[in-house]
Amino acid sequence: MDAMGDQPPPAGNLDAVVNEVVAEAHLRPDELRPEERAYLKEHALKRPLRVLDIWALGVGVVITGAYFGWNLGLKDNGPVAMLVASLVVCLLYLIWVLALSELSVAMPFAGGPLAYGRRAADPSLGFVMGWSMFLECQFATIATALATGGYIAFLVNPETPSNVCASLLVVLVFFLLHVVGVKEQSSVMVVMTYGAILGLVIFWIATASNFSWQRVWPENPFPPQKGWKAVLDAVPYALWWLVMIETVALAAEEAHEPHRTIPRGLVWAQLTLVVLVVLTWLFACGAMDSQELAVDVVNGKEEPVVYPLAKVVGHIPAGRSAAVVYGFGVIALFGLTASYHGMVYGTSRQAFALGRAGYLPAFLGRVHGRRRTPVLALLSTSLITAGFVIAGLWFRAAIDVAVLVSTLTALVWYILAMGCLAVLRRREPQLFRNYQAPLYRSLPLAVVLLSAFAAYVYSGIDTKVVPLTALLYTLGLAYYWFWAQRGLVKAAPEELAARQTW
Amino acid sequence: MSSNLPGPDASGRTKPLLMVLEVVTTACLLAVVLALAWITLMANDTESLRLTSVQLEVVIVVVLLLLAVALVSLLALLHTRR
């Protein structure tokens, strides 16, 4: 039972965890007041995660991007535009995770962006960055819950699938799993990540039997009416391949020796994902016309294809066997559930950190006495997800909008985080003594320029995503300015880490 | 360019190969940024910036992006070995 976290951790262990947090906040233990030590003890997380766990979290949390979402970028743009957009995004995320590793090792707290903004500037910037990541994680979780539930419902009953019931079941199961303990959920994540990769390998092998270079690289690479604009239009959907890998930065507070585990785990995860992205694009677009991969025509109306890989498998000769279709369908579930699993982690940890530091309601910052998991943050974010799942009954484009809000809010804090990195490197170089990313000056600059490029293309999207995102920021900032900023908790790790700059 | 390459090895030598790799990677990233600016202009019907056939333009951009991904990956892996 102890392994399941049912026994309270010994007081000495909690003292050791608190001492580690204090050291990582670059404070001396005697600078901590007794009431601050008590607060940290009460809100301490365990630190069992190693490189394999970080790799699995990094790959698992975004692998759903290979299973759905990216294909919507093929509509009217074609496979070549999608390839160029995907490679831009792969490069962006590669340099982004390197820069993020540096910040994450310097300030290994569950608050992640909250801590970076807080230390580099002030609580307002910390809140904007933390809120951005919370929105990114929450909306990605909503999109994935809808897609996962729909997929399960389709497998169980293809004639009349009940998406809402299956989505709610997914939300409940993963809420319970995350409540049990961080090591336990991480072990499940490793298995699911292997399963998700296996699903993609089976997909590549099956679709190779129907592969055509003509479909992948047509004579006219772009639609004649669009030209290079097709690349810009594909970028927001290409972001979905890899968005959320930064969730790994939030795991730094639960990682053993974060200065080693975070950079290694993140880099290996990102390299694994680049290979998965390119091969999945290649075999999907080679096996089926790209427009059919993006849209279905139902009763004369175009509807987005929600499960593109399953559609390809059903379309190719090898997929005429029911065993292949259902076999792949079941394995593909790993891809969707692994990512949902990782997204629940990211959303709950960000809500927990914002609550623990007083930026969101304090109850979100409480942890379970024995399991040391943020139960109320998990419950609250799961309830929000469940609410949107139910609302999805009346809002057909829910997945599309959730995907775009998630990626847009992500870009906001990527750019801000690079500003923080530049400021902190100049002002407090000693912060980064444990790990420095390669390409010292050009790296953050490249992240900013590529992120700005990706954000710019949103101006061409015909949805209500930008006003909706602006509304969410307005609500968050109103809460912070009119309510939260008077009650920030100075004993929270993210606030302790900022103490030297007061 | 300010570098934070791994320091001198056991024999006290710096690692010129890594320094060259950082310089080449930086140049490649700069080329990618310029390529993205060019794509943005081309997307707005700036035909005067057309370099060659669309096919060849796409091949050049794809090769540039693949090269940048490969170089950054190599550099990242060398850094995580420290």
pLDDT given for residue A296 in this prediction:
87
Banded pLDDT at A355 (limits 50, 70, 90): very high
Average pLDDT over residues A134-158: 86
Task: State the pLDDT confidence band at A12, using cuts at 50, 70 and 90.
Answer: low
More confident residue, A376 or A29: A376
Q: How far apart are CA A340 and CA A337, in angstroms?
A: 5
Q: Taking CB atoms and an 8 Å limit, are B79 and A437 in contact across chains?
A: yes
**Other residues' Cβ atoms within 10 Å of the Cβ of residue A500:** 13
Asked if B72 lies within 8 A of A94 by C-beta distance, the reply is yes
Q: Which residues partner with A49 through β-bridges?
A: A255
Q: In terms of CA atoms, which chain A residue is nearest residue B56?
A: A221
Q: pLDDT band at residue A19, thresholds of 50, 70 and 90?
A: confident
Distance from CA of B20 to the nearest CA of A (A): 11
Q: Which of A95, A231, A232 comes nearest B72 by C-beta?
A: A95
A354 pLDDT more than 90: yes
What average pLDDT score do residues A18-23 get?
A: 75
**The CA-based dihedral angle spanning residues A93, A94, A98, A103, taken in that order and rounded to the nearest 10 degrees:** 0
pLDDT, position A322? 78
Mark A446-463 as b/e (b = at least 16 C-beta within 10 Å). bbbbbbebbbebbeebee
Q: pLDDT tens digits for A221-256?
A: 999 888 999 999 999 889 889 888 888 877 888 888
A169/A173 Cα distance (integer angstroms): 6
Out of A11-20, A129-138, A272-281, A351-360, least confident range:
A11-20
**What is the distance in angstroms between the Cα of B49 and the nearest Cα belonging to chain A?**
12
The tally of domains found in chain A comes to: 1
pLDDT value at residue A333? 84
DSSP element (H, E) containing A187: helix A182-208
| Amino acid A500: pLDDT | 60
The minimal CB distance from A439 to the residues B25, B58, B69 is found for B25
**Quick check: A232 and B5 CB within 8 A?**
no
Q: Is the pLDDT of residue A462 over 60?
A: no
**Cβ distance of B29 and A90 shorter than 8 Å:** no
Q: Is the ipTM of this complex over 0.85?
A: yes
Residue A278: CB atoms within 10 A of its CB come to 17
* % of chain A beyond a pLDDT of 90: 40
Average model confidence (pLDDT) for chain A?
86
Alpha carbons A91 and B67: distance in angstroms, whole number: 10
Residues of B in contact with A268 (CB under 8 A): 80
Best CA proximity match to A435, nearest among A28, A48, A97 = A97
Nearest-5° Cα angle at A388, A160 to A451: 115
Q: Does B75 touch chain A (CB under 8 A)?
A: yes
pLDDT in tens, A402-452: 878 888 899 999 999 999 999 999 998 988 888 888 888 889 999 999 899
Amino acid symbol at A46? K
Place A6 in a pLDDT band, splitting at 50, 70 and 90: very low
Are the Cβ atoms of A267 and B78 closer than 8 angstroms? no
Separation in Å, CA A277 to CA A7, A216, A327, A350, B19: 42, 14, 22, 27, 30
pTM of the model: 0.83
Q: Which residue has the higher pLDDT, A288 or A321?
A: A288
Q: Which helix (H) or strand (E) holds A102?
A: helix A78-106
At A382, the amino acid letter reads: S
Question: Given CB atoms, is B62 within the 8 Å cutoff of chain A?
Answer: yes
CATH number of the domain where residue A154 is located: 1.20.1740.10
Q: Which has the higher per-residue pLDDT, B2 or A44?
A: A44
Residue type, A462: D
Range of the domain at A234: 2-457+465-501
pLDDT, residue B82, reads 59
- Minimum mean pLDDT range among A49-63, A105-119, A390-404, B5-19: B5-19
Q: Write the residue in B43, B45, B75 that is nearest to A232 by C-beta.
A: B43
Chain A and chain B share a number of CB contacts under 8 A equal to: 102
3-state secondary structure (DSSP) of residue A27: coil
Nearest to A439 among B55, B75, B80 (CB): B75
Nearest by CB: B29 against A229, A268, A446: A446
